[in-house]
Structure 1
Amino acid sequence: MNRRNFLYNSTLFSASALLPAELLAASSKYGITPGIQLYMLRDEMMKDTKGTLKQLGAMGYKQLESYGSDKGIFWGMSNKEFQKLTAGYGMQLVSAHHNPMPAKAFETLAAQAAEIGMKYLVCPWLGPQKSIDVFKRAADDFNSKGAICKKHGLRYAYHPHDYPYKPVNGQLPINVLLANTDKALVDFQMDVYYTVSEGQDPYAYFKNHKGRFKLMHLRDVLKQRLPKGSEEESACDMGEGIINFPKLLTAAKSEGVKYFFVEQSRYYHETPMQSAKKNIVFLK
């Protein structure tokens, strides 16, 4: 860790220790309600679900995004039990990434999600493909799942990683998915890290596909590690990289993004929980 980063991190932790709970609980001046994707804390959640959630609530996180863990999106509890637990810590489960499943099981999951007021189920992964036709078929599947979600009173979305920004048969899969999904049924979750690290412009996607991006994952991109074109070589905490988050969040809000989730995957000199703390302090 160089001196600049050491001073930055030391100042950040010192300042966060002095912040009152009321300030941490409030939304930022950009109107962003702080959320976090639980996959970031997957080991902690598996070891101590309640303790981990309690810490996140104490930090000031208000919204959660779950994923298809070995214990399910409700972490071994019923939907209402998990809702009650998170509410006790001042948080709400807004969305969840789901695993592949048959249509009947997906319908059940959608009903359970809607029952506790969740807003989204999200497809987190399609994987790199050799033919663009695979993504066209995926768009049809998204429309079908979107119709199921709509019937139950919630929404469906897709979360692109790096591969949708890489050309397949001369086309970008992300553009094919945007063009072939029904905007009345399917939204998108931008992971700004992947958009930027793959050389794309998040502002252009907001402008050219107005209203399609409703959720966002937040992490930064280290300039000195670009371009690498490999497994998240350049991921870092917000405020430590090249993304102008005040500008980005202002634009995202104005273009209809409603839900923002911190998600970090690379830890250089910290634990996932320390990263969660640093990122919410930055958001405040």
Structure 2
Amino acid sequence: MDRRAFLKNSSIVAGGSALGLLAPSRLVAQTHYPYGIQLYTLREDMPDDPQAVLRQLAQFGYSQIESYEGPQGMFWGQSPARFAAYVRDLGMDLVASHCSINEGFEQKASDAAEAGMQYLICPLIGPQASMDDYRRYADTFNRCGEICRSNGLGFAYHNHHYSFFNMTNDSTGGESLKPQDILMQNTDPDLVDFELDIFWLVAAGEDPIHWLRKYPGRFPFSHVKDRLANMPADSFSATTTLGQGIIDYPSILPVAYELGMRWFMVEQESYAGTTPLDSSRDNAVYMQQFRFG
């Protein structure tokens, strides 16, 4: 079945009543720790029929949604309040969204507040040329955090692999630091949190538990996605369905919870041999093993 047919059929099945979808979603939420999904995982499907995709995600057992600025914006062509209400009616919560911080950020924070979100998250800044560039971004993050706080929101930055490689300070000629340390040490913990993309951290050869212990409480969010072995650090195609890669999530996630992580967002960026919807279903099954607290 092609993607459009799958979405059309799911709309027919679910169209009569939302109650048939709410029961399995709420049952999962009661028996397992709640888990969510970053909608970028469904970037091939969301533009066709956002509501049908969301119905499927609720049926799979996801209880939290993290949006992003897709072709129809963070709210997929709807008002912030209407989109959030639709998500809630399916038994899920719209908890956060990725968005650009470079333009219109105050309006985005206002819209996120209207939707009842808890966070806005900067998805990337790209590799910077110097430590001072990262320090300037830390200042920018602090300002974004102030804007979010004034709207009743939190603010966070989502890492990629490049922030975990050492840089040498040009001005001293000898000091070597990881940009991730610069960002974390130069941001106000009351204003700026971090979303730990565990896939990208592992891609840089780092240990997730080391970073969680180094900065307890600074990583309330995570991206949970698996990684194939022997792939380049910058490879997006290295992502795979949870449980089929090299990342030991059964060892990592309980420690992450103990150290303050509360939102576990599934994300997948490559689908060799499967589809975004099928992988989202299989990832939900994988996440049902976790019970914290």
Q: How far apart in 2 are the matches of 1:235 and 1:22?
A: 27
Say whether 1:186 aligns with 2:189: no
Q: How far apart in 1 are the matches of 2:29 and 2:248?
A: 19
Query: Relative to structure 1, is the Cα distance of residues 89 and 130 closer, same or farther in structure 2, using a 3 angstrom cutoff?
Result: same
Alpha-carbon offset, residue 218 of structure 1: 0.6
Q: Which residue of 1 aligns with 2:92?
A: 91
Q: How far apart in 2 are the matches of 1:37 and 1:28?
A: 21
Q: CA RMSD in A?
A: 1.8
Alpha-carbon offset, residue 21 of structure 1: 5.1
The C-alpha deviation readout for 1:70-107, integer Å capped at 9, x for no partner, is 211011110111011111211111000012333xx212
Residues 25 and 59 of structure 2 are in contact (CA less than 8 Å); yes or no, is this contact kept in structure 1?
no
Residues 36 and 65 of structure 2 are in contact (CA less than 8 Å); yes or no, is this contact kept in structure 1?
yes
Residues 83 and 92 of structure 1 are in contact (CA less than 8 Å); yes or no, is this contact kept in structure 2?
yes
The C-alpha deviation readout for 1:18-62, integer Å capped at 9, x for no partner, is xx9537742386x53120000111121111111111111111111
Q: Which residue of 1 aligns with 2:78?
A: 77
Q: Which residue of 1 aligns with 2:138?
A: 139
Q: Find the partner of 1:282 among 283, 286, 289.
A: 286
Q: Find the partner of 1:26 among 25, 28, 48.
A: 28
Q: Find the partner of 2:275 among 252, 268, 271.
A: 271
Range with bigger deviation, 120-129 or 110-119: 110-119
Q: How far apart in 2 are the matches of 1:24 and 1:276?
A: 17
Residues 134 and 183 of structure 2 are in contact (CA less than 8 Å); yes or no, is this contact kept in structure 1?
yes
Aligned partner of 1:251: which letter? V
- SS of the equivalent of 2:156 reads strand
Q: How does 1:140-219 map to 2 (within 5 A)?
A: 140-169=139-168, 170-219=176-225
Question: Across the two proteins, how many residue pairs are aligned to each other?
Answer: 260
- SS of the equivalent of 1:189 reads strand
Residues 154 and 192 of structure 2 are in contact (CA less than 8 Å); yes or no, is this contact kept in structure 1?
yes
The C-alpha deviation readout for 1:119-156, integer Å capped at 9, x for no partner, is 10000010012212111000000000101111111100
Query: Relative to structure 1, is the Cα distance of residues 151 and 32 closer, same or farther in structure 2, using a 3 angstrom cutoff?
Result: same
Q: How far apart in 2 are the matches of 1:28 and 1:269?
A: 32
Q: How far apart in 2 are the matches of 1:23 and 1:74?
A: 22
Residues 24 and 59 of structure 2 are in contact (CA less than 8 Å); yes or no, is this contact kept in structure 1?
no
The C-alpha deviation readout for 1:226-273, integer Å capped at 9, x for no partner, is 4x2332343211111222212211011100011111100111110011
Residues 216 and 257 of structure 1 are in contact (CA less than 8 Å); yes or no, is this contact kept in structure 2?
yes
Instruction: Mark the runs of 5 or more structure 2 residues left unpaired by the alignment.
Output: 1-21, 169-175, 289-293
Q: How does 1:218-237 map to 2 (within 5 A)?
A: 218-223=224-229, 225-226=230-231, 228-237=232-241
Q: Which residue of 2 aligns with 1:259?
A: 263
Q: How far apart in 1 are the matches of 2:25 and 2:64?
A: 16
TM value normalised by structure 1: 0.87
Residues 149 and 156 of structure 1 are in contact (CA less than 8 Å); yes or no, is this contact kept in structure 2?
yes
Q: Which residue of 1 aligns with 2:45?
A: 44
- SS of the equivalent of 2:268 reads coil
> Percent same amino acid among aligned pairs?
38
Q: How far apart in 1 are the matches of 2:213 and 2:249?
A: 17
Q: Which residue of 2 aligns with 1:15?
A: none
Q: How far apart in 1 are the matches of 2:101 and 2:44?
A: 22
